Structure 1
Amino acid sequence: MPSSVLSMLTAGGALALVLALICVAQRGARWAGVARRPGASTRLLALDETLALDTRRRLVLVRCGERQCLLLTGGTQDVLLGWLP
């Protein structure tokens, strides 16, 4: 076999080994809890729903931890309507 083909095979094998090690390290980090998966539900503050009342005002349902609050936005000032159980 020519040396150029042998060096290409060696480089390809080394690249495959490095990519495999990266995948193993990523799975190990997820298993250990170091790396979080994208889209994991660990956020404390989230926007659950919005409802347009007219062209200016909206009702917004915001989740903060285990609780939800209802906001009225878009008028002269925003108003916290209340906390939901």
Structure 2
Amino acid sequence: MLGLVLGFILVTGWLVRRFGGGALMRLPGRAQRRLGVVEAMALDPRRRLVLIRRDGVEHLLLLGGTQDLHLEGPIPPAGAAAPTFETVLNEAAAPTAHAPGPVP
């Protein structure tokens, strides 16, 4: 009986290592997570760069030291189509609806 229980524990441990523990969190019926850490990197013993994803948009944060900073964002997620040069030019050249009129 003890051997059966130990065998079950070993097989379960192997399955979790093989397929990852995150697979259990992606079962049908579970809510989709809105916030997650994509990557983190230690700059020194006190500061870290952290790339987080919130609602499909990524933000780069500098944490630690005397204050935390939002360095960059929103960043399109990796694999998303980046805007082309022509798209950026067209958006910059398009007149805005709230542009002030000429000054007399």
Distance in 2 (CA, whole Å) between partners of 1:74 and 1:62 is 16
Query: In the alignment, is residue 67 of structure 1 matched against residue 53 of structure 2?
Result: no
Please report how far the alpha carbon of residue 75 of structure 1 lies from its aligned counterpart in structure 2 after TM superposition: 1.2
Q: Per-residue deviation at 1:38?
A: 3.5
Q: Quick check: 1:56 aligned with 2:42? A: no
Please identify runs of 4+ aligned residues in structure 1 that moved more than 3 A: none
Does 1:46 pair with 2:36? Answer: yes
What's the TM-score, normalizing by structure 1? 0.53
Partner of 2:71: 81
Question: CA offset at residue 64 of structure 1?
Answer: 0.1
Deviation at 1:61, TM superposition (A): 0.6
1 or 2, which has the higher helix percentage?
1
CA distance in 2, matches of 1:48, 1:42: 16
Q: Distance in 1 between matches of 2:24 and 2:70?
A: 31
- Per-residue Cα deviation, 1:56-79 (whole angstroms, up to 9, x for no partner): 100001100110000000110000
Structure 2, unpaired ranges of 5+ = 1-22, 77-104
Q: Greater relative contact order (Cα 8 A, min sep 6): structure 1 or 2? A: 1
Identity level (%): 47
Larger Rg: 1
RMSD: 1.8
Residue ranges of structure 1 left out of the alignment (5+ in a row): 1-36
Query: 1:81 deviation in Å?
Result: 0.4
Total equivalences in the alignment: 49
Whichever residue aligns with residue 49 of structure 2, its letter is L
